[in-house]
Amino acid sequence: MESLCSTLKKADADWIRQLRRHIHQYPELSGKEEQTAGLVKDTLHRIGVKDIQSGIAGHGIVARLGENMDGPVVALRADMDALPIQEETGISFASRHDGVMHACGHDAHTAMLLGAAKILKEMEDRIQGCILFIFQPAEENSPIGGAQPMMEAGALDDPQPDAVFGLHVWPQLPVGQIGIKPGFQMGASDRFEIRVQGQGGHASMPHETIDATMTAVQISQVLQTIVSRNVNPLETAVLSISSIQAGTTHNVIPDQASLMGTVRTVQPEIRELMEKRIRQVAKHVAHSMGAQVHVDYHRGYPVLNNDLAMVEVVRKTVREQWSEQALPEIRPALTAEDFAAYLEKFPGAFFWLGCGFTDPEHNFPLHHPRFLVDERILPLGAELLSTLALRYLAEKRGEVQ
């Protein structure tokens, strides 16, 4: 990291940092990003961006720089929503909204994209084409998300981008490293809820009941065999039970129980298999226990597949701005990201921006109540996004190789 430095003026770097800290203090859940969207819109106005569409699919915003509508169009995207997590960082700018926290770094994403917009606005006369800035709501709101609703609302219809780029802070990588690979980088995510209907009664007389709690436990145990006994060991699948709920007191066997979980896959046929087997297991285990069962299975975000040519644009930008050492080999992850919806429609690439602290004791995973980013990434990320956009436009016009 010592060889890396931001070329931004200190005042601009501080401006990005203060934006991020303000957004961090006032997090908003998916679909409720009203104040955050207002801040984004006001900030864009203050830096001189005039072409702004707001209120898209809720609180989405698309801003545009560049007047050459006959030239290439590139889009940069940041997500704005937070998570229902109680913050435990103890920092001076911790969340002021009880039970809501930017535990996934979307505050940093939004601030960095605003920083990129400021950089690019100051050199707007050099933009030979068009740059779109997508500020997206509801990324955490799987299975719906915010990307697909924004596209369905026509946010990227006029003009349509020739390429779309996005990033995500990544604590597993140190500051100054970029994780990107062609093809599969992040998995498909589905979720399910299984509701068991039994027959309740006194806990001292279980023989007179149909135990919904025990049925749910049995279903949970058998579900764990699907991956190990139905999926080829050379293929990829994860099934996790994240919640089992039943009963309210010690001496009553409840008549209802529920369990929730997630499924992560890569191959479409494995995705189909997982849903089919979950339904079969729940039905037959419940039947064997004398209970009734209902399964709700929701398809979530698709697999995130990066376009090879767009990956190379990112890599060239990183090599020129930083170095070859900033591009380590990475393994894909089964975390999901609704940026994948853009990549199903437009060429593009999504990359991980290392935000890990030098001291590993300060590093916590995404979605953890003590998660934070190393703030040195903020000006670096803003510069990388702006440089990436300019390089893509130049390559598209044939000006660079």
Q: Is 104 annotated as a binding residue?
A: yes
List the beta strands (DSSP E) in 81-147.
130-136
Tokens coding 305: 């597949």
Cα separation, 71 vs 387, whole angstroms = 18
Coil vs helix vs strand at 48: coil
Measure the N-to-C terminal CA separation of the chain; round to a whole number of Å: 27
Cα gap 352→124, rounded to integer Å: 27
Provide the CA 90 distance to its chain's centre, in angstroms.
24
Q: Is the distance from CB of 349 to CB of 312 less than 8 angstroms?
A: no
Give the max Cα distance, the chain.
80
CATH 3.90.1150.10 fits 188-300, yes or no: no
Matching fold, domains 13-185+303-397 and 188-300: no
Query: pLDDT truncated to tens, each residue of the chain (401 aa)?
Result: 334 557 788 899 999 999 999 999 999 999 999 999 999 999 999 999 999 999 999 999 999 999 776 789 999 999 999 999 999 999 999 999 999 999 999 999 999 999 999 999 999 988 989 999 999 999 999 999 999 999 999 999 999 999 999 999 999 999 999 999 999 999 999 999 999 999 999 999 999 999 999 999 999 999 999 999 999 999 999 999 999 999 999 999 999 999 999 999 999 999 999 999 999 999 999 999 999 999 999 999 999 999 999 999 999 999 998 999 999 999 999 999 999 999 999 999 999 999 999 888 889 999 999 999 999 999 999 999 999 999 999 999 887 66
Q: Is 367 labelled a binding residue? A: yes
Q: Where are the domains of the chain?
A: 13-185+303-397, 188-300
Q: What is the fold, at CATH topology level, of the domain defined by 13-185+303-397? A: Aminopeptidase (3.40.630)
Instruction: Name the phi and psi angles at 388, rounded to 5.
Output: -60, -45
Whether 36 contacts 107, CB under 8 Å: no
Is position 140 annotated in a ligand binding site? yes
106 known ligand binder: yes
Which residues are identified as catalytic? 81, 139
